[in-house]
Structure 1
Amino acid sequence: MWEKLLDHMMRRFVVQGSIDLALPDGTCRSYGDGGDPKVSVTLNDPDLPRRIVLNPDMAVGEAYMDGKLTIANDDLYSFLSLAILNRSKSSFAWFQRPLEAWRRALRLTRQWNPVGRARSNVAHHYDLSGTLYDLFLDEDRQYSCAYFRSPDDTLERAQMQKKAHIAGKLLLEPGMRVLDIGCGWGGLGLTLARDFGVNVLGVTLSEEQQRVASARARKAGLDDRVEFRLMDYRHVDDVFDRIVSVGMFEHVGVPHYLEYFTHVRNKLTEDGVALIHTIGRTSPPGDTSPFIAKYIFPGGYVPAMSEVMKAVQKADLIATDIEVWRLHYAETLKHWHSRFMENVDKVREIYDDRFCRMWRYYLIGSELTFRHDRQVVFQFQLARHQEAVPLTRDYLYKGEDRLSHAAE
């Protein structure tokens, strides 16, 4: 029965490209239009047809991690290209619709992130071995989308350009107080303090990030101007001239959007400016991949712009600038995966082969989602008053030039 349901599902799903599928009983079937991408896949577990029918995203990811689904030449890039290209083109089989409806109905429950749960979700991903991140990130440990002005930009240069672009939008002046929500390993906060003379408070829920960021501040001699605290942004009791948040909003959860932007507004001075940098979707609101939610980013969600702006408006904030970055994150992830594979033996020494396969699946899948499935990056510049920023964008590039000169 499960093999028949899988066959029916695959015939509806694969409308572009082609796949040769070898079932556990030795049966071989082909699907698609015969074009690229072309892949050959073998299912090595008799229970896989059932699991794939019931939850394809989770079952396929776990089967690849466990070696129960093998791809000819381990061509994971072509396999995930085929899957992601067809995801937006095909329709659900009749027996998948109730399961998908049930999964979407529960999405807000899975995104409920009160303080305690938010901390455990962050620890799942960001408190991994620090050595792991050194093996594939840039020297500044920027774990968010870089900004590629040229295809020839190195990852280091593109990440510096990202920080410069954000600094320009923040309209920084010496002595300003800046709150960095979700400060990571401190790279952005240290850059803003060093090159713009501002005072920065960075907050994170990751013990590892807070430890590393504080050590970096001491080593750079900036600990009198930069402080990194292990705390939830909701517990910050102060007012700031500028608020910045890069790559953290994806962890907030839709039920908390109004709470988040209300805190942003209340923590801004009257003429303050905030810059929120987040992954987003250009499609209507959706759900998080079950595989990503379980293994990579529990509690995470990529928002539609409509979901963000609804909360922004209710929090009585004004959007003074909105920018959409399209393929920049795809290029960033391509760099990360290349560096990861160059160091995969070192990663295997820290964890194991299953972890390496999981991480590779995550990095490639994420890159291809940005390339083929309407995923982008949003930058929301927000203020309490519309006069908080100049009328034209000319000011933006002054900050970029200033930081570029400092880096050089």
Structure 2
Amino acid sequence: MWNRFLDRMLRHLISEGTLDIVWPDGRRVRYGDGSGPKARVTLTTPNIVKDLCLRPIMALGEGYTDGSLEIPEHQLFDLLTLLARNEQRGGMPAWFRGYSYMRGAVGRWLQRNTPLTSRRNVSHHYDLSEEFYRLFLDRDMQYSCAYFKDPGMSLDAAQAAKKAHIASKLRLAPGLRVLDIGCGWGGMALTLAREHGVHVTGVTLSRSQLETAQARARAEGLSEMTDFRLMDYRELTERFDRIVSVGMLEHVGLPQFPTYFAKVSDLLTRDGLALIHTIGRTAPPRPTSPWLERHIFPGGYVPSLSDLARPMESANLWLADLEVLRGHYGPTLHHWRDRFEANVKTVRAMHDDRFVRLWRFYLVACEMAFEEQQQAVFQLQLSKQQHTVPRTRDYLYSQPAQATSQVADRSLQSA
């Protein structure tokens, strides 16, 4: 029964591209119009057939991870691209839309993200060893979208350019007090302190990240200019001249957006300025992938602009500027994936084969999402007053801004 059901699903779904399925009984069936992209999938157990019928997104990721669904490594990106393109053409059955709506409703409950659950969610992903992340990130350990001013830039240069671009939007001056919400391993905070003479308070819920950030500050002689804390941003009470938050909003959860923006407003001085850098959907809201929610980012949610507008407005914040970075995160992820694969033997020795497949699927799926689906990066510049920033964007592309990027890049080369 399940074989027939999945066969009908695939015949209805795959109208573009070529998908070859090897069924558990050895039969080979081709779906699609014979064009590219092309992929071959081998289903090794009867149970995976049933799972693909009942919960296709979860079963695809879990099946690849546990080996019940085999895909040649070099075809994984093509397979996910093929499936995404056909899903966008409306190829999924009608019941799947109802299932997605139900997941969205349940997701709002799962994303309540209290201080306790937030700490647990962050630990799930970010408390893997620093040594693991160093295998595929740039030297400054920036785990967010880089800024490729030139397509041929190295990952290190593009991450330095991202930090310089954000620094320009923050309008920094020596002595200002800066808050970094979700400071990671400290790269952004240390760069702002080192290059701009500001004092940065960085908060994270990851003990591993905290220890790395503090050690880096000591090694660079920046302990007096930085203050890294294991702390939920909701517990902060000080006021700051500037707030930066890179790649953290995706972990806040939809129900917490009003709290997040209200806190940003409360923590900013009257003439303060905030820069929020987040993954975003350039389409109507959509629930988080159930596989990504369970295995990679529990409690996570990628917002659409419509999710963010009302909370920002309710917090009485000016949206001083909004920039949509397109075509940057796909190349960033491709760099990460290449570095991951170059070090895959080390990853396997640290963990096991299942972990390698899980992280390979994650990196490939995310790269595909930014290349094929309506996903980009939003940079939200927020202020309390209309004229906190200049009327035009000219200040971002002046000679000093370009010089800042060059200085940041040189600092990485000397690290």
| TM-score between both structures, scaled by the size of structure 2 | 0.96
- Structure 2 residue aligned with 1:199: 199
8 Å contact from structure 1 (residues 161, 400) kept in 2:
no
Moved more, 78-87 or 137-146: 78-87
8 Å contact from structure 2 (residues 160, 408) kept in 1:
no
Indicate whether 1:106 and 2:106 are aligned.
Answer: yes
**Alpha-carbon distance, 1:25 to partner:** 2.2
- Structure 1 residue aligned with 2:50: 50
Deviation readout 1:289-315 (Å, 9 max, x if unpaired) = 111111110111110011111210111
Deviation readout 1:260-311 (Å, 9 max, x if unpaired) = 0000001000010000000001110011111111111011111001111121
- Counterparts of 1:275 and 1:253, CA distance in 2: 19
8 Å contact from structure 1 (residues 15, 90) kept in 2:
no
The amino acid that maps onto 1:172 is L
- Structure 2 residue aligned with 1:313: 313
**Alpha-carbon distance, 1:400 to partner:** 4.2
8 Å contact from structure 1 (residues 181, 233) kept in 2:
yes
Percent identity among equivalent residues?
50
8 Å contact from structure 2 (residues 183, 202) kept in 1:
yes
- Counterparts of 1:119 and 1:73, CA distance in 2: 34
Indicate whether 1:213 and 2:213 are aligned.
Answer: yes
**Alpha-carbon distance, 1:22 to partner:** 1.5
Indicate whether 1:377 and 2:394 are aligned.
Answer: no
The alignment partner of 1:200 has SS state of: strand
Moved more, 327-336 or 66-75: 66-75
The alignment partner of 1:148 has SS state of: coil
- Counterparts of 1:77 and 1:261, CA distance in 2: 36
Indicate whether 1:164 and 2:167 are aligned.
Answer: no
Gaps of 5+ in 1: none
- Structure 2 residue aligned with 1:323: 323
The alignment partner of 1:190 has SS state of: helix
Moved more, 105-114 or 257-266: 105-114
The amino acid that maps onto 1:240 is F
The alignment partner of 1:224 has SS state of: helix
- Counterparts of 1:407 and 1:330, CA distance in 2: 21
Indicate whether 1:261 and 2:261 are aligned.
Answer: yes
Indicate whether 1:252 and 2:249 are aligned.
Answer: no
Deviation readout 1:79-102 (Å, 9 max, x if unpaired) = 122122222122331443443332
- Structure 1 residue aligned with 2:387: 387
- Structure 1 residue aligned with 2:401: 399
**Alpha-carbon distance, 1:322 to partner:** 0.1
- Structure 2 residue aligned with 1:336: 336
**Alpha-carbon distance, 1:27 to partner:** 2.7
Residues 180 and 319 of structure 1, relative CA distance in 2, 3 Å threshold: same
- Structure 2 residue aligned with 1:288: 288
- Counterparts of 2:372 and 2:186, CA distance in 1: 32
Indicate whether 1:135 and 2:139 are aligned.
Answer: no
Deviation readout 1:151-209 (Å, 9 max, x if unpaired) = 11000000000000000000001000000000000000000001000000000000000
Indicate whether 1:22 and 2:22 are aligned.
Answer: yes
- Counterparts of 1:252 and 1:392, CA distance in 2: 31
8 Å contact from structure 2 (residues 64, 357) kept in 1:
yes
Residues 400 and 238 of structure 1, relative CA distance in 2, 3 Å threshold: farther
Residues 154 and 389 of structure 1, relative CA distance in 2, 3 Å threshold: same
Residues 400 and 251 of structure 1, relative CA distance in 2, 3 Å threshold: farther
- Structure 2 residue aligned with 1:119: 119
- Counterparts of 1:366 and 1:163, CA distance in 2: 22
- Counterparts of 1:265 and 1:167, CA distance in 2: 19
The alignment partner of 1:6 has SS state of: helix
RMSD of aligned Cα (Å): 1.2
- Structure 2 residue aligned with 1:147: 147
- Counterparts of 2:290 and 2:408, CA distance in 1: 43
The amino acid that maps onto 1:401 is A
**Alpha-carbon distance, 1:327 to partner:** 1.1
The amino acid that maps onto 2:244 is V
Moved more, 93-102 or 259-268: 93-102
Residues 73 and 332 of structure 1, relative CA distance in 2, 3 Å threshold: closer
- Counterparts of 2:320 and 2:71, CA distance in 1: 48
The amino acid that maps onto 1:282 is T
The amino acid that maps onto 1:10 is L
- Counterparts of 2:33 and 2:310, CA distance in 1: 42
The alignment partner of 2:387 has SS state of: helix
Indicate whether 1:238 and 2:238 are aligned.
Answer: yes
Residues 169 and 97 of structure 1, relative CA distance in 2, 3 Å threshold: closer
8 Å contact from structure 1 (residues 22, 29) kept in 2:
yes
8 Å contact from structure 1 (residues 279, 377) kept in 2:
yes
Gaps of 5+ in 2: 411-415
The alignment partner of 1:30 has SS state of: strand
8 Å contact from structure 1 (residues 344, 356) kept in 2:
yes
The amino acid that maps onto 2:335 is H
Deviation readout 1:218-274 (Å, 9 max, x if unpaired) = 111010010100000000110000000000000001101011000000100001000
8 Å contact from structure 1 (residues 257, 308) kept in 2:
yes
- Structure 2 residue aligned with 1:368: 368
Residues 400 and 230 of structure 1, relative CA distance in 2, 3 Å threshold: farther
- Structure 1 residue aligned with 2:186: 186
Deviation readout 1:331-370 (Å, 9 max, x if unpaired) = 0000000000000000001000110111111101100100
8 Å contact from structure 1 (residues 281, 375) kept in 2:
yes
The amino acid that maps onto 2:57 is D
- Paired positions, count: 408
**Alpha-carbon distance, 1:74 to partner:** 4.9
- Counterparts of 1:306 and 1:13, CA distance in 2: 29
| TM-score between both structures, scaled by the size of structure 1 | 0.98
**Alpha-carbon distance, 1:77 to partner:** 1.8
